Structure 1
Amino acid sequence: MMLTEGSDVVYCKLLMSTLADAVLEWFVSLLDRHITTFDQFATLFREQYLVNKAPTRLSYDVFDVKQYQGEAMKDYLNRFGVHAVRLKPTDEAMTVHAFVKGMLPGPFSESLLRFYLKTFTEIRRRTLAHITAND
């Protein structure tokens, strides 16, 4: 559309041909002659659909990852790792702290606090060693 030279009417008609399902229904439901410019339409469109955009995930969202009651330590470690990779936290100490805070309380989580681990790699190594020793 940006390559096409034309008026706002042309832009709106071209855009309408790209819409489908609920978005097309919304477009058709707009009052006739209510929109006078493409910019006005673009603003209405953003207002209508911006709320559907997924919220930006932040690095401290790793604190939302908690070990479930009855969840194996290895499963929690893997699930936490997946979230950490997606969120790309830049502060390793925060990642370590979030992992330990998300663990169910017990002797192993307390032992991790005593070791003052600095990276998630150290957490993973120590956790896997603990899992192997207790299997």
Structure 2
Amino acid sequence: MDLAASQARNEELHRTNEELRRSLRNQAGNREAEEQECTTPPRDFPMPFSETIMDDVIPGTFVGQKATFTGMEDPEAHLTAFHTQMMLVGGSDAVRCKLFMSTLVGTAMHWFISLPDGHVTSFAQLSKLFREQYIANRAPPPNSYDYFDVRQYQGESLKEFINRFGAQVVKVNTKDETIMIHAFRKGICPVPFSESLIRSRPKTFTEIRRRAAAHIAAVLTVPGR
């Protein structure tokens, strides 16, 4: 009888000890969870991209974009530079969104993260929001009279001036050859080549280019040059 009572007491003590161990383990687990909750900062940051865009992974072969936008530049010029770079590397619509975000710095990045969470669902929408935000930064559209702002610098070669004027021709993109030729004659310094344009007036800027190339070649072949 004493042996049975002793075994019963041992079993009772064993159960009590197991319950105490479980209680201590639970308390320790609760403390760790509370400590982790206190020490782990909440992930409370905005993300304007939709889940679909966020789930699309940028391949490791992609290189970061060189163009950056601070909020002071022309938005159209920035978009053009970005599109040009993306033409070389390709990428999905979501990748374009993420890479474009990486070009924003300073106040431009602050503008982006101020957009509502999950608001941006495509690159076309992001481009539209970007243009609307920075529309005041857009440069005025070029016109034919901008040709008259291009003047040959003192010491600038004919070739350099021709190339600089040609860049303006591309920028303005007009077919008004009369204004183009008149502006070129006004902008060039008085040199033998400009005098030849007075004696024999060209009809197109292409003709000016051709005659300038011939003039430069002739000068280079003069002995002592």
Fold conserved between structures, TM > 0.5: yes
State the SS of the aligned residue for 2:136.
Answer: helix
Residue in structure 2 matched with residue 107 of structure 1 by the alignment: 192
Query: Structure 2 regions of 5+ residues with no counterpart?
Result: 1-46, 50-100, 115-130, 221-225
Structure 2: distance between partners of 1:17 and 1:116: 59
Q: Measure, in 1, the Cα distance between the counterparts of 2:109 and 2:162.
A: 44
Match of 1:17 in 2: 48
Number of aligned positions between the proteins: 105
* Matching residue within 188, 205, 210 for 1:125: 210
1:84 CA drift (Å)? 0.4
Shift of 1:26: 6.1
> How far off its partner does 1:124 sit?
0.7
Largest Rg, 1 or 2: 2
Counterpart Cα distance in 2 of 1:70 and 1:87: 26
Specify which structure has the bigger relative contact order, considering alpha-carbon pairs within 8 angstroms and separated by 6 or more residues: 1
Q: Choose which of 55, 62, 76 in structure 1 pairs with 2:140.
A: 55
1:116 is aligned, of 201, 208, 213, to: 201
Kindly indicate whether the alpha-carbon contact (under 8 Å) linking 1:59 and 1:90 is maintained by their aligned counterparts in 2: no
- 2:48 aligned partner, one-letter code: S
Tell me the percent identity: 52
The 4+ residue runs of structure 1 with deviation greater than 3 A are 18-21, 23-29
- The alignment's TM-score, normalised by the length of structure 2, stands at 0.40
Residue 60 of structure 1 contacts residue 89 of structure 1 at CA under 8 Å; is this kept in 2? no
**What one-letter code is carried by the residue in structure 2 that aligns with 1:95?**
M
Deviation (angstroms), 1:27: 8.8
Alpha-carbon distance in 2 for matches of 1:50, 1:87: 20
Question: Conserved in 2, the CA contact under 8 Å of 1:63 and 1:99?
Answer: yes
Question: Which of 77, 83, 98 is residue 162 of structure 2 equivalent to?
Answer: 77
Counterpart of 1:118, as a letter, is K
In structure 2, which of residues 160, 170, 181 is the aligned counterpart of residue 96 of structure 1?
181
Between the aligned partners of 2:113 and 2:207, the Cα distance in structure 1 is 57
Gaps of at least 5 residues in structure 1 are 1-15, 30-44
